[in-house]
């Protein structure tokens, strides 16, 4: 029996060995490398007119790695002038197709600039099962002259702001223009970070008009850049844009414009707002220093200090301001049915007899009609009030949550109770009728500065006397400076001589000590008495 078992096992091992000899592992073997076909035609100039047409197809004879091999192909394009390369695409097919527009964009990634003719090399690699890679038998060449689709409608002198020059990307560059032909180029540029840049000629990018100019942290943002004929560059201060005029909810008050938002992708300033059939203008930084209206000689474009812009029909609009077209600026207005809020809420209460439509009822304003309202008024002690919006009364739903010092509170809005202010004073009330939330904050005149306990970071609120209409504070000061500021904002601030304070005036010097400081904002005077 033992001998039979041994013979049986031996036979089994021989059978297994025989089976293993029949199993074969595929071995990759390149039998024939891929071969590129010529690009035909081999010379092309890209234009706006032919941008949608097909670029000459890049194709090849497939590589042969043996039966059943799955082959991937990678196409690379190299700019022979600077030796930069980009992967144009990957496929298992034997061709890649592009439009002229797509190829024009692709070539920009290898430093091919508009108006200049370059020689490019197309190379191909094949890969089987991602374990074996081989070059094609050949490479092919073509010549191309790129164009910039952003400049096709510019028929005056223009230049690029080349950030990072000489390594810069014209597809992301902002433009300066000289539409008047006086040798001075101007344009608006968004700088997101500190950087260096050059200004290069738009028609001949090999011609540098200015270089090695720096952007520091003070000039980050949306700024106007000017290049003078002598090659000097000036960078303006960062600007935020808005709309004012009797067509807007802001009226002509430049300090409260309809706010516009900047979109870095479209490079447009946009506001969604109702407009009446009246007039408006665009202004920067809540000031008339920079404002745009229509050019009286060419109403289709905007001009600094130009004519008021007319709204033909009362409606809600999407307004877009385009300031990135090489010195000639435009805007568009598109009617929209996007919901907008009323321009104001009234604040009826015990202080005026609960009459929401009376002239003595305080109002909260929504300048942009975005459902967010605010207003600052004096309320006597123990005043009760509600908000009133087009026939609807809004009170507090649930608890009015005050902070420990009773200077700030938040509450939900709805069909609720009266809101009560136990202490008299000036309060800023804000409401969001979309989110149905509201807040109250005690506010008014404050002193702020290096001499105060909060330095320049935190103002010290003064106390209001409704009889004298003056403000006062008893405070310990350090050697230093201070100013008077309204509602925690620098939009309204007093400095200079105590006998004649001025808006935005110089800081006021003071020595260390404890003082009673009184302010008369109507007379624009103040007194300081050491205690």
- State whether residue 428 is helix, strand or coil: strand
Cα angle 286, 292, 296; round to 5: 150
- Look up the CATH number of the domain holding residue 231: 2.60.40.3620
Say whether both 404 and 452 belong to one domain. no
- State whether residue 9 is helix, strand or coil: helix
What is the C-alpha to C-alpha distance for residues 323 and 188, in angstroms, rounded to an integer?
6
Q: What is the total count of domains within the chain?
A: 5
Q: Residue 4: its pLDDT value, please? A: 44
Q: What is the reported pTM? A: 0.62
Q: Residue 22: its pLDDT value, please? A: 42
Q: Residue 343: its pLDDT value, please? A: 81
What is the C-alpha to C-alpha distance for residues 137 and 124, in angstroms, rounded to an integer?
9
Contacts of 85 (CB under 8 A, 6+ apart): 76, 77, 78, 79, 110
Is residue 80 domain-resident? yes
The gap from C-alpha 493 to its chain's centroid, in whole angstroms, comes to 29
Say whether both 354 and 372 belong to one domain. yes
The full DSSP string for 115-171 is: T--EEEEEEEEEEETTTEEEE-S--EEEEEE---GGGTT--SEEEEEEETTTS--GG
Say whether both 70 and 121 belong to one domain. yes
- Look up the CATH number of the domain holding residue 473: 2.60.40.3610
Report in angstroms the alpha-carbon separations of 281 from 76, 251, 293, 369: 51, 10, 5, 18
Is residue 29 domain-resident? no
Q: Residue 16: its pLDDT value, please? A: 45
What is the C-alpha to C-alpha distance for residues 176 and 185, in angstroms, rounded to an integer?
5
The number of beta carbons lying within 10 Å of the beta carbon of residue 192 is 10
Give the end of a domain, one of 427, 442, 457. 442
The full DSSP string for 341-402 is: --SEEEE-BTTTTS-TTSTTSEEEE-TT-SSEEEEEEEE-TTEEE-EEETTEEEEEEEEEEE
Q: Residue 7: its pLDDT value, please? A: 42
Residue ranges with strand state E in 17-107: 35-36, 43-45, 58-61, 71-79, 84-91, 95-96
Give the end of a domain, one of 315, 335, 355. 335
Say whether both 372 and 386 belong to one domain. yes
What is the C-alpha to C-alpha distance for residues 288 and 354, in angstroms, rounded to an integer?
40
| 531 residues of the chain, pLDDT tens digit each | 444 444 444 444 444 444 444 444 456 789 999 999 999 999 999 999 999 999 999 999 999 998 888 899 999 999 999 999 999 999 999 999 999 999 999 999 999 999 999 999 999 999 998 789 999 999 999 999 999 999 999 999 999 999 999 989 999 999 999 999 999 999 999 999 999 999 999 999 999 999 999 999 899 999 999 999 999 999 999 999 999 999 987 789 888 898 899 999 999 999 988 888 999 999 999 999 999 999 998 888 999 999 999 999 988 899 999 999 899 999 999 999 877 788 899 999 999 999 999 999 999 998 767 788 999 999 999 999 999 998 899 999 999 999 998 899 999 999 999 999 999 999 999 999 989 999 999 999 999 999 999 999 899 999 999 999 999 999 999 999 999 999 988 889 999 999 999 999 999 999 999 999 999 999 999 999 999
Say whether both 176 and 221 belong to one domain. yes
Domain that holds residue 495: 445-530
Q: Residue 274: its pLDDT value, please? A: 85
Give the end of a domain, one of 335, 369, 400. 335
- Look up the CATH number of the domain holding residue 88: 2.60.40.3640
């Amino acid at each position: 029996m033992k001998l039979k078992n041994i013979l049986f096992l031996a036979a089994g091992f021989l059978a297994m060995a025989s089976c293993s000899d029949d199993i074969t592992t595929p071995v990759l073997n390149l039998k024939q490398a891929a071969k590129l076909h010529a690009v035909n035609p081999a010379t092309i100039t890209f234009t706006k007119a032919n941008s949608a047409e097909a670029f000459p197809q890049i194709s090849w004879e497939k590589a042969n790695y043996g039966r059943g091999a799955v082959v991937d192909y990678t196409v690379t394009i190299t700019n022979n002038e600077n030796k930069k390369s980009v992967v144009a695409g990957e496929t298992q097919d034997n061709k890649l197709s592009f439009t002229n527009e797509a190829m024009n964009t692709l070539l920009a990634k290898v430093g091919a600039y508009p108006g200049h003719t370059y020689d490019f090399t197309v190379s191909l690699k094949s890969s089987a099962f991602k374990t074996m890679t081989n070059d094609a038998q050949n490479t092919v060449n073509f010549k191309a002259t790129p164009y910039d689709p952003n400049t096709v409608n510019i028929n005056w002198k223009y230049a690029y702001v080349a950030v990072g020059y000489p390594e810069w990307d014209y597809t992301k560059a902002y433009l300066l223009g000289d539409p008047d032909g006086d040798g001075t180029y101007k344009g608006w540029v968004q700088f997101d970070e500190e950087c260096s840049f050059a200004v290069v000629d738009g028609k001949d990018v090999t011609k540098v008009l200015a270089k090695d100019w720096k952007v520091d942290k003070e000039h980050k943002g949306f700024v106007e850049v000017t290049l003078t004929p002598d090659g000097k560059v000036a960078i303006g201060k960062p600007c935020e844009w808005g709309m004012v005029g009797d067509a807007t909810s802001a009226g002509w008050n430049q300090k409260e414009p309809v706010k516009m938002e900047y979109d870095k992708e479209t490079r447009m300033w946009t506001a969604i707002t109702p407009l009446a059939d009246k007039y408006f203008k665009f202004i920067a930084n809540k000031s008339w220093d920079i404002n745009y209206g229509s050019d009286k000689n060419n109403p289709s474009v905007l001009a600094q200090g130009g004519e008021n812009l007319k709204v033909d029909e009362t409606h809600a609009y999407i307004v877009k301001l385009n300031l990135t077209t090489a010195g000639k600026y435009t805007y568009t207005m598109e009617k929209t049915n996007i919901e907008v809020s009323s321009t104001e809420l009234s604040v009826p209460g015990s202080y005026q007899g609960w009459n929401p439509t009376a002239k003595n009822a305080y109002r909260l304003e929504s300048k942009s009609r975005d459902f967010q309202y605010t207003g600052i008024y004096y309320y006597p002690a123990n005043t009760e009030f509600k908000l009133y919006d087009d026939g609807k009364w809004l009170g507090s739903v649930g608890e009015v949550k005050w902070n420990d010092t009773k200077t700030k509170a938040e509450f939900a809005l709805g069909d609720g109770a009266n809101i009560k202010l136990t202490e008299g004073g000036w309060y800023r009330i804000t409401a969001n009728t979309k989110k149905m939330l509201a807040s109250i904050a005690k506010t008014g005149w404050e002193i702020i500065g290096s001499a105060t306990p909060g330095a320049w970071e935190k103002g010290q609120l003064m106390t209001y006397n409704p009889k004298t209409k003056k403000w006062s504070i008893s405070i310990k000061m350090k050697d230093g400076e201070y100013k008077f500021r309204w509602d925690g904002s620098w939009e309204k601030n007093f400095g200079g001589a105590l006998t004649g304070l001025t808006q935005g005036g110089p800081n006021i010097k003071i020595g260390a000590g404890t003082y009673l400081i009184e302010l008369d904002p109507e007379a624009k005077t103040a007194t300081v008495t050491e205690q």
